[in-house]
Amino acid sequence: MNNEKTRSKTYLLPSLVHQYNLNTTEIKGLFLGIDTVTKNTNNSVYLWVNKDDEFKNYIAKYTYDKDILLEYEFKDKVLFNKFIGGKYSEFSDLKKQKIIEFYNLKNNHKVSQVLYKSPTLRLEMERKLKMSLKGYELGEKINYAEECYNPELSRD
């Protein structure tokens, strides 16, 4: 089964839910693109849902067996571009707070530490990597292979 915990879901879903006033109970995941269909050059994101009854304002709907993907325009282009570039600590404080509140994260959660470039996480990573990370982001850049929905991998 496709990974339901993409970086897109972690960092972009809270803003998408806010932008479109989405109900989160039927959301399984969020992807940047659909492998073989699009490479996402237009700020679209693809919401993976159990059923689409309650969702509105999407651009297009894609169905693969039992999987339903709804294409939405991600309107916050600044956040989107910082996400694509792996610049998580450069998200606005408001966006960081929305992510933390959306997932009810504590200060010591890795996502919180990445967003705020935690010195504790940086030192831990430096010890593990045996190099200085001063000035670097603490979260990895996205991997398009993992961030794009692949219909071939979605079947059980």
Residue 13 is assigned to a structural domain of this protein: yes
- Does the pTM surpass 0.85? The reply is yes
| Tens digit of each residue's pLDDT (9 = 90 or more) over 53-73 | 889 999 999 888 888 999 999
Distance CA 33, CA 47 (A): 10
Residue 152 is assigned to a structural domain of this protein: no
- In the chain, the number of structural domains is 1
Residue 63: phi, psi to the nearest 5? -125, 130
Q: Which amino acid is at 64?
A: Y
Helices (H), the chain: 7-20, 77-84, 93-103, 110-115, 119-129, 144-147
Determine the structural domain holding residue 92 and report its residue range.
7-147
Residue 156 is assigned to a structural domain of this protein: no
Residue 153 is assigned to a structural domain of this protein: no
Residue-level pLDDT at 4:
63
